[in-house]
Amino acid sequence: MTTFLATEYGVGVGWRPEIAGFVAELPGLRFAEVVAESVHDHDDLPPGLAELLARGVAVVPHGVRLSLGGAEPVEPERVRHLARVAERVGAPLVSEHIAFVRAGGVEAGHLLPIPRSRESVDAIVANVKRTQAELSVPIALEPIAAVFDWPDNELAEGDFLTEILEQTGALLLLDVANVYANAINRGTEPAALFDRIPLERVAYVHVAGGAEHDGIYHDTHTDAVPQVVFDLVAELCSRRRPPALMLERDGHYPPADALRQELDAIAKASGYPAVT
């Protein structure tokens, strides 16, 4: 765990098959993330990913379907898959969400918020521990962007996150766009959360785009990153700069120049060297 936190990976990118060619040509890249469920645990690696590993880029599997926040125990086969993918790519770390994605056998098709209650903390802590038992590397947990809150919230967001991290020993994957989205939609100050969470546990940071519809900010990953989100990255880094920050784009991929500009904007906001 300390090894990852002590290494400066700098600016990275979410590797996706659609932008594999673009990512392959980023000269300074040292860090990338791959959706864990998109990697086979024994068959061929997706084209382009093996080349990235051969270049010495650190690749972090990012799970999206474990449902760590589900009331039911995490499915052992999904945990084993994540662990095997981490070993295949020689990952220094894996990540997943503080969320649930299915209940009663029905898939939600999206990351859903869990109540900020004691019961909920107990459930996710148990699932994170079950997952850690199978992993040979640390796990970082990512708080999600949610359009609505549960009525049963007992804990403030910062206390809720800190409690989960303390009980599990997990690291934090902080999505600055999620922080922005939640604050805007709840009418609070985005940077205020930075004072309430253990910034020294931030393993890496997601930077993503979003869009506003009918007064609600949606964390879409398919739109440009707003300047306010880059400003929030700068604000975070002025308090404590995380080892890695990455651009997370999941569709409607813009031309390479636009992606390069967003990577450069992350470099500028964080003070890490440009990777383009």
- Looking at 27, 104, 187, 255, which residue binds another protein (CB under 8 A)? 104
Residue 212 found at the interface with another protein (CB under 8 A)? no
Stretch that binds another protein, among 5-13, 76-84, 192-200, 217-225 (CB under 8 A): 217-225
Task: Extract the tokens encoding 1.
Answer: 């765990």
- Looking at 100, 160, 194, 204, which residue binds another protein (CB under 8 A)? 100
CB-nearer residue toward another protein: 78 or 102:
102
Residue 216 found at the interface with another protein (CB under 8 A)? yes
Report the nearest approach of another protein to the CB of residue 88 (Å): 23
CB-nearer residue toward another protein: 27 or 151:
151
Under rule CB under 8 A, which residues in 124-153 are in contact with another protein? Answer: 146-152
CB-nearer residue toward another protein: 117 or 261:
117
CB-nearer residue toward another protein: 56 or 151:
151
- Looking at 5, 48, 75, 102, which residue binds another protein (CB under 8 A)? 102
3-state DSSP of the chain: CHHHHHCCCEEEEEECHHHHHHHHCCCCCCEEEEEHHHCCCCCCCCCCHHHHHHCCCEEEEECCCCCCCCCCCCCHHHHHHHHHHHHHCCCCCEEEEECEEEECCEEEEEEECCCCCHHHHHHHHHHHHHHHHHCCCCEEEEECCCCCCCCCCCCCHHHHHHHHHHHHCCEEEEEHHHHHHHHHHHCCCHHHHHHCCCHHHEEEEEECCCEEECCEEECCCCCCCCHHHHHHHHHHHHHCCCCEEEECCCCCCCCHHHHHHHHHHHHHHHCCCCCC
Amino acid identity of 243?
A: P
Taking alpha carbons only, the member of 123, 13, 125, 118 closest to residue 59 is 13
- Looking at 196, 218, 241, 268, which residue binds another protein (CB under 8 A)? 218
Binding mask 67-86 for another protein (x = CB under 8 A): ---xxx--------------
- Looking at 27, 214, 255, 257, which residue binds another protein (CB under 8 A)? 214
Under rule CB under 8 A, which residues in 232-261 are in contact with another protein? Answer: 251
Residues in binding contact with another protein, number by CB under 8 A: 33
- Alpha carbons 155 and 144: distance in angstroms, whole number: 16
Phi and psi dihedrals of 71, rounded to 5?
Answer: -70, -25
Binding mask 150-189 for another protein (x = CB under 8 A): xxx-------------------------------------
Contacts with another protein by CB under 8 A lie at 70-72, 100, 102-104, 106-110, 112, 114-115, 117, 119-120, 123, 146-152, 213-214, 216, 218, 220, 222, 251
